Structure 1
Amino acid sequence: MRRSSPLIETLPLAVEPSERETLPSFFSRMAAINGTDATGFALDLGVSFKRILNQEQEAIDIFATRSGLAPDQLATMLSWTGERIGGVRMKFRGEVFVSRAVRNPIIRGCPHCLREAAEKQAFPLRHMAMAGDWLCRGVDVCLRHCHPLMPLLMPLWESSRLVNRDDVGARLDEILPDLQAGKFDCDLIEPSAYDVWLDRRLSQGKDKTWLATQPLFAAMTFCALLGRELLRAQELEADDRAAKAKGFDAASRGPETITCALDRILQAGDGGYFGSKQALPMLLEALGRLYRSDDSFDGFRDIVRRHLLRIWPVEAGDEVLGQTVPERRLHSLASASRETGVGKSVLNGFLTEAGAFPPDDTRADARKTFDAKKYKPLLEEIPTLVGPFAMRKAMGATLVELKSLEADGVLSPRTKVATIKSPWRVSDGLFLLEELERKAILLEAGTPGWETIRHVHKRVGLSVGQVIAAIRDGRLRVGKRAEAFGYHGLVVNVAEVDQSELLRPREQKMAAMEGEINAAAFARSIGVREKGAFQALIEGGHTPAMEVLHPVTKRSQWRMSGADIAAFYDKFTTPTVIVKETGLHRNTILAAFAAHGIEAFRLNGVAVGPIYLLKEVAPVLNTLKS
């Protein structure tokens, strides 16, 4: 519907707006066709040119009516011109832009478009129109002619005064000779996917990419920023058009592709991530400061922030792109060392052993990151660990006693890393001491017939683990000497030890060593009852024995000397032997073997009974004993 007024009539001389034409351009052409300039034309309408440029409602209504503009024509023209909406914001093509993205002292345009409009015209200024997309600083090329619009190449004119800058007729009249002579022409360029995307979104409001979910000004700005960061990371020249094209290629496909692009920028040569803000200087400056209060950037800000929090060791309370981090998600070796006060090499040993880093991790300390929450208990524990001297002092043990407890797996250091000098948890030693003292009988000083646990091992060869296991299950009583502190004051009764079934396997070994025994009988004594199984082991050369002729039956048989039996025990063991030595249930032993994937010894692929290699089962047995 056309605007009309009973008091204001349409001028007899009028023109139709060109496609994408701006208000100053159309106003100047109307002035030209009515034989005057922009300032005089405004006065003829009863307004001022400045009021027209400021888009004052009354002035615009008068001009629209006198020019014969329909409401939709006026709305389209204003949308290509840009309308102020408060502060430093403008509405441009239905999207919110910062003013400087649409208003600039440097005026750009396509010389081919202007020259074509002026060709063969007696009055060129009546036909030469300035397109609104030339105002947008994200637009770099005229798609129709492939001519660049970048202002540094060849601006049409420049002026800081609004009235002078937007007097389009006067400025075009000044440059018309040079325009017709081709002095504004530059080398043509191939439009990129970014150029086509931006033109389609401005002209039609259509967008088939993920960027359709984001405000246009934020989207085109982010494309340029991301592209510059990508080019900088590749040590390539940060050409503006190349940056926009490269950034658009990633951003247009959505958050996952944006994250991959950020990964490429932040990836360090050693496989870690650059953790400094200088790793993304332009993006962080724009998202974190320049557009900090602009919520149209929130979508991009969230993507970048989430990625940074995933890879950067940000401390709780620090701010990342406008949001305070409530808790630390990641630690680096360097940040963990600062917070705990523990040296980086010590922390590295603990964390590598715990699985935070692979053994061959060569990343720099600041880029060697790990899950802060998962390894928080370990970081809290490391400063509390002590060396051997403090450990044995706390639990009242000699150095030899502490070593024997470790050797049998009764006490295990927090780490096996040899270079770490403080591997012990005092709580482990105190817990063992408390457990044994609860069972202990208080002995008066000098009570005879009792010996320390370590002395039992030295005297009869029982391991410390065996003695403690017997105390735990009640097979041996434990006493506590009043005159001695801690573990060294715990003793067992000599007579009970000597009469204990713990010594039976040892006695069997000793008796066998004094003479010879039938190999089949020995096999039965250790639980190997399958016919021919043990003989196959002997004949296969896996355990020694002597083949002799029986003096009565005159049949050959295998017999074993004490040395042969000792050789067997040095290499093999069986569940029957383990039950006798440890007191553990047979099913417990077999379940532990199965859990660790330990199988019975096989001869040519065939098992020869419940016989196991001692070296394979020893680590499991140490665990079971503890």
Structure 2
Amino acid sequence: MARLPLSIHPIPGETAMSLASRLAEVNHVPMREFLRDMGIGINSLIAGEGAAVSQLAELSGVPVAELRRGTPRTSDGQVWFAGNCFPAARVGGRKVRGCLDCLKGQPGLRGIWPLPFVTICPEHNRPLVTLWTIQDKLDRHDVTRRLPDLDLAPEGRPEPRDPSKFDLWWLDRLEGNTAFDHWLDQFDLHASAQFCLELGRAAIATTVPKWRALRDDEQWWPADVGFRLCTGGEEALRVALADLQHLMGRPEEGPRKIFGGLHDLLAADLCPKELRPFQSILRQHILKTWPLAPGDEVLGEPVLRRESISLSALA
């Protein structure tokens, strides 16, 4: 397939759908009509399928490897990006997020923006915002159609903030770097982030009422708190769990009352294998610090024998 006479410059990290929107505009054709005329399947391109992405790369002149690098690949309920796997339900959706500074300079949607736990632009230190909310799967990617209605004025942008330790670690892992040499590096990226988030929420609940929803500019906070509690490895994590247990209530209130969403995440009937290392740590902590007996159940598994409980654990 030959390159179109009217083409566009590449934007690093841009998705194939965003590129298609810009290529359609420069050729003065609506995006849906453009893809149909070029013989590129809409659903195939949305899913980041190899053949569709390659077709678009040939038409635009953008190197196919570069386009694939910025395009999430969806298959069998999972999304792959930068060698990492995420549940499809956690990626993208009707709400399209992005960095207003990036769009002001280079008007294209980046593939990293819809990923879970990405809350900040590493280039501008600006929190991501919801750009628009669109139900139609094609229209939500039509950046050239939506951009004119977007307020890109400096006064409309959120205040910048420094990336958190969690932000830096997460973005490094997406790039394939392990410069942090963190205990969590041995585990699945998404599972590690889920654990950090729920651990952080449990820790924050010791000072912030559970009923108070976090503001948009506080959404990064729980994952960073959980990440910091994991910095010292498994031994430090066990100490943190014990501290939370003493701060949140009495043993007779039960593990679910104490650990909240963290308990629910790891007590799921079909706990994903990626989360099982964290499930094992919490389960062992509960067994050693709660007066349980055979017949009880902890995180979906039966208690087989009574563990010896220290007096300090019951205090």
1:280 and 2:259 aligned:
yes
User: Which segments of 5 or more consecutive residues in structure 2 lack a partner in the other structure?
Assistant: none
User: Which segments of 5 or more consecutive residues in structure 1 lack a partner in the other structure?
Assistant: 1-7, 118-127, 332-355, 369-626
Aligned to 1:231: 204
2:193 aligned partner, one-letter code:
M
TM-score (normalised: structure 2): 0.87
Mapped to 2, the partners of 1:220 and 1:198 lie a distance apart of: 8
Mapped to 2, the partners of 1:35 and 1:270 lie a distance apart of: 64
Mapped to 2, the partners of 1:72 and 1:183 lie a distance apart of: 37
1:106 aligned partner, one-letter code:
K
Mapped to 1, the partners of 2:81 and 2:292 lie a distance apart of: 39
Counterpart mapping for 1:8-27 below 5 A? 8-27=1-20
Shift of 1:265: 0.8
Aligned to 1:212: 185
Which of 294, 299, 311 aligns to 2:272? It is: 294
Greater relative CO, 1 or 2 (CA 8 Å, sep 6+): 2
Residues 133 and 39 of structure 1, relative CA distance in 2, 3 Å threshold: same
Mapped to 2, the partners of 1:90 and 1:214 lie a distance apart of: 18
- Give SS of 1:133's match: coil
- Give SS of 1:267's match: helix
Counterpart mapping for 1:336-415 below 5 A? 367=314
Mapped to 2, the partners of 1:32 and 1:270 lie a distance apart of: 59
Shift of 1:225: 0.6
Which of 100, 125, 133 aligns to 2:89? It is: 100
Residues 301 and 276 of structure 1, relative CA distance in 2, 3 Å threshold: closer
- Give SS of 1:233's match: coil
Aligned to 1:30: 23
Shift of 1:199: 1.5
Which of 157, 167, 191 aligns to 2:132? It is: 157
Contact 1:273 1:311 in 2 (8 A): no
Contact 1:107 1:158 in 2 (8 A): yes
Shift of 1:296: 0.9
Residues 107 and 320 of structure 1, relative CA distance in 2, 3 Å threshold: same
Mapped to 1, the partners of 2:253 and 2:246 lie a distance apart of: 6
Contact 2:20 2:31 in 1 (8 A): yes
Mapped to 1, the partners of 2:119 and 2:45 lie a distance apart of: 28
Which of 60, 63, 74 aligns to 1:84? It is: 74
- Give SS of 1:97's match: strand
Shift of 1:132: 1.8
Contact 2:44 2:52 in 1 (8 A): yes
Task: Provide, for residues 245-297 of structure 1, a one-character-per-residue CA deviation record: whole Å limited to 9, x for no partner.
Answer: 111101233211211111111015999786442111111111112x8331111
Counterpart mapping for 1:415-564 below 5 A? none
Residues 310 and 17 of structure 1, relative CA distance in 2, 3 Å threshold: farther
Mapped to 2, the partners of 1:219 and 1:141 lie a distance apart of: 19
Contact 2:251 2:290 in 1 (8 A): no
Which of 158, 169, 179 aligns to 1:197? It is: 169
The structure having more radius of gyration, on CA atoms, is 1
Contact 1:25 1:168 in 2 (8 A): yes
Residues 61 and 173 of structure 1, relative CA distance in 2, 3 Å threshold: same
How many residues are matched?
Answer: 308
Shift of 1:104: 2.0
Contact 1:156 1:184 in 2 (8 A): no
Aligned to 1:61: 54
Contact 2:53 2:64 in 1 (8 A): no
TM-score (normalised: structure 1): 0.46
- Give SS of 1:108's match: strand
Mapped to 1, the partners of 2:183 and 2:283 lie a distance apart of: 19
Mapped to 1, the partners of 2:2 and 2:123 lie a distance apart of: 37
Mapped to 2, the partners of 1:43 and 1:34 lie a distance apart of: 14
Shift of 1:220: 1.1
Aligned to 1:611: none
